[in-house]
Amino acid sequence: MRLRRAGSFGVERASRLVRRVAAVGTGFFGVFLAAGSAWAAAPIVNESGTPGGRLTWVQTTLIFVGIPLAAFLLIGFLVYLPSLVRGPRYRPGRPWPGGTVWFGGPPDADDLIARIEQLPPSTSEGGGAGARW
Amino acid sequence: MPGGEGVAMTLPARRGDTSADDAAAHAAVARTILTTRQADLVRQVLAVAREETGLWFSLFIGPLSGDVRKEARRLHAALGERADEAVLIVVEPVERQVEVVTGRTAAQRLDDHAAGLAALSMATAFSGGDLVGGIVTGIRMLAEAAARPPIVRG
């Protein structure tokens, strides 16, 4: 019973591995296959003596502008990704990202916050202290 | 006035969804200031402080217009019947001011020296950009000061 379960788990894992390798492999080698067929379609050596066909201006732009630009954008995206996920955070001196929150406030805290200016002034004698930063 | 602007800016968004589900709206606004995890931590620290001291610890974060201390006392009074035994911490990020307001009963347990020390400690953390760290430390300091018998100062 135990063995059979372990076995079926193993098969499942193996099949998942095979599928994963196949998926990655198709993507990876597909690029070479596509490149190969493109290579084959073009003349082996052109009139200037360099192998392959002449690059059209579209291809040139894609290779020398598109790829660096894509890499630049990708790296930039990866750099900003953590802060995008985290959302705005407090930094002293920067504008407040906005919002008000009251933990342990009265039940109608949201309404009170909306009309803070209309609250009656405090008459209770208590204490307390403050600080600035 | 930057404080007033901040309040005005948050109001239209809040107004729209308060009637539907207060708690959800509150959580949504809280998320813009603190992450869900940070908000949970703050809630937990507040709950522990309440349990340890029997005082009602409350925390307000947001811009206020006018005199921050006065506004903080007004918010404290808005706690209603809880106000007497409440310790309200007000963090004003635009004016960069933190205020601890204690009610009449709470002030007997938590003197102004201890409140001042906690406020100073919070302000130091905030100046380094550590909002949650400052809040958590501040609440713990206040709770600790309120939990022990008062010190006679000469």
CATH number for the domain harbouring residue B78: 3.10.310.50
Which residues of chain A have a pLDDT value below 70?
1-13, 27-52, 87-88
Q: Are B91 and B119 in contact (CB under 8 A)?
A: no
The region of weakest confidence among B16-30, B32-46, B66-80 is B16-30
Average pLDDT (B35-64) is 92
pLDDT for the residue numbered B1: 38
pLDDT level of residue B119 (50, 70, 90 thresholds) = very high
Average pLDDT (B108-130) is 92
Whether A10 is covered by a domain: the verdict is: yes
Whether B28 is covered by a domain: the verdict is: no
Helix (H) or strand (E) holding A128: strand A127-132
Statement: residue B89 has pLDDT above 80: yes
Tokens of A84: 């995008």
**A22 and A42 assigned to the same domain:** yes
Residues of chain A contacting residue B40, judged by C-beta atoms under 8 Å apart: none
pLDDT for the residue numbered B51: 92
- Domain extent, residue B112, equals 34-147
pTM of the model: 0.63
**A42 and A17 assigned to the same domain:** yes
Statement: residue B52 has pLDDT above 80: yes
Residues of chain B contacting residue A89, judged by C-beta atoms under 8 Å apart: 129, 131
Whether B19 is covered by a domain: the verdict is: no
- Domain extent, residue A82, equals 65-89
Whether A82 is covered by a domain: the verdict is: yes
Q: Pairing between strand A101-103 and B97-102?
A: unpaired
Q: What is the DSSP letter of B62?
A: S
Whether B73 is covered by a domain: the verdict is: yes
Whether B106 is covered by a domain: the verdict is: yes
Cross-chain Cβ contact A99/B103 below 8 Å: no
Question: In chain A, how many domains are there?
Answer: 2
Q: Provide CB contacts within 8 A for A27, sequence distance 6+.
A: none
Average pLDDT (B2-17) is 35
